[in-house]
A and B are shown apart, each in its own frame.
Chain A
């Protein structure tokens, strides 16, 4: 658990970067600090491993005042990932990952094994191990950055806009890899970003900071979207927050309609209706076809792939999006194995939404007490 107690950072020229910040980053959870530039989020992060010293206030790690700890030892116990990965250009990928273990005095063989294992964990091919960072793409470098931070298995990770410098598709992949790792490793993570979507996707808890380093609101993402505390937070979390908040609402039992399906290669002769769903041998949906436009067998060129697929165990947002994006207006729903279980219409999802409660006030109070 990382705890900020009335932490202030004031520079000699009078600028206040962080103003009386108190919050708790619970053990094993991801706490995201989010806010516009100048809100002191990076400064706050760097005060945790004492890259920056607070002017006043106390930061403690599992109850121990970090100000009294040995700097280098503190840092070796905290993984750190930054925006452009900050890899050592003169060391190979595998040596980069082994940095902290070597500093901690592990032997070469042990370090090498651990490094290779981590490269695999973050989804990098073994043949990349002996390359230099400049020979990797931005996304690959960032994966190495994450592997390096994890190398000595530190209980705490600090991440400073780690995924901001890569393109959106890669960013999405990196975020998924990261969440996947976190679900296994359960690190105590403080994550800084300016991107509210990223904050909401990754955070167990999101702290919104305003310019001047004041905490505006801290709560779980669903509550933040549903109950922004003031205009600043409401503005910051964005316009389509109503829609986005649906992603935190697990879909209740959806009223599913079964579909007439076709296999790829089957003939459309005798099939009527506007749109028919095509599935593969394992009953996994492939796409929609308009039987009237197909003469003879259905091939993959005929498929309309515009619709998203929702999981029955997923969120209301997924179900609604599947319905809205489907050319037939019938949203495709699958089970956890990806097999078709039926379709759902937008109005059916909407009536479910109307019947669901919004996140209640109590949840925020729980966090407020924890943070106080």
Chain B
């Protein structure tokens, strides 16, 4: 505890960096997964291809991906962009399926009614399909958020600092309090992300709770 009291400033600075490295890819990943998931629904032959491809991406060890990034992107080794891009890839890998299944969960009768009323293209997507897919997408987003918070800590090994530094440093110097602080901070951050997404979902889907209210 003494160690923690002496290092509040460091912990907050690392946490802030962690939020960026885990959070920004979550947003970028969702934006990329939306059209991909939509395409997987739209062309049924694309679905298995996209799902297996994204599944494969997720099996690449994070350390390998972090190390490969400078080679692929031509960035400097210590560039934070390496981590952001790698984490975005993981997020996309998790969310493509979620988005596709979320759009698939929209009732057929509703889609048909939308079509029959003259909804088309983007207006149908943003007006009817996407709002109804929010509960499923939000569930996937929560998984991705927690997974991102945990995976990002590996970035310490390539010299990009965030809460993972507390783990590596604590391990090197045998400071148990530092390791515990790192773990607790990661868990708190994961809970925070989770809570934010849940809040967002509730705000976006008042109709889901109305449904629960009747049952």
Contact = CB atoms under 8 A, between A and B. Distances in A.
Q: Real complex partners, A and B?
A: yes
Interface residues of A, number: 29
Interface stretch (A15-23, A81-89, A198-206, A329-337): A81-89
B133 to A, nearest CB: 10
B197 to A, nearest CB: 18
A73 B207 CA distance: 29
Interface centre among A83, A90, A100, A148 (most CB of B within 10 A): A90
B116 A49 contact: yes
Interface in A99-136: 99-100, 103, 131-132, 134-135
A284 B176 CA distance: 92
A223 interface: no
Nearest to B108: A86
B72 to A, nearest CB: 40
Interface string B97-110: 00000000001011
B113 A80 contact: yes
Contacts of A73: 118
Interface string A149-179: 0000000001000000000000000000000
A82 B211 contact: no
A132 B210 contact: yes
A372 interface: no
B70 interface: no
Interface in B176-215: 205-207, 210-211, 213-214
B120 interface: yes
A366 interface: no
Contacts of A135: 210-211, 213-214
B84 interface: no
B117 A103 contact: yes
A135 B214 CA distance: 6
A90 B107 CA distance: 12
A29 B205 CA distance: 41
A158 B112 CA distance: 13
A74 B120 CA distance: 12
B58 interface: no
A280 interface: no
A76 interface: yes
A75 B117 contact: yes
A132 B113 CA distance: 17
B120 A71 contact: yes
Contacts of A80: 113, 116-117
B146 interface: no
A76 B117 contact: yes
A51 interface: yes
Interface string B12-50: 000000000000000000000000000000000000000
Contacts of B128: 88
Contacts of A86: 107, 109-110, 112-113
A72 B109 contact: no
A128 to B, nearest CB: 12
12 contacts: A51-B115, A75-B118, A78-B116, A80-B117, A82-B113, A86-B110, A88-B110, A88-B114, A89-B132, A90-B131, A132-B207, A135-B213
Given A82-B116, A86-B112, A89-B110, 5 more contacts: A82-B113, A87-B110, A90-B207, A103-B117, A134-B207
Considering the complex of A and B, which 9 residue pairs feature the smallest CB-CB distances, nearest first? A86-B113, A76-B118, A86-B109, A75-B118, A80-B116, A134-B211, A132-B210, A72-B118, A132-B207
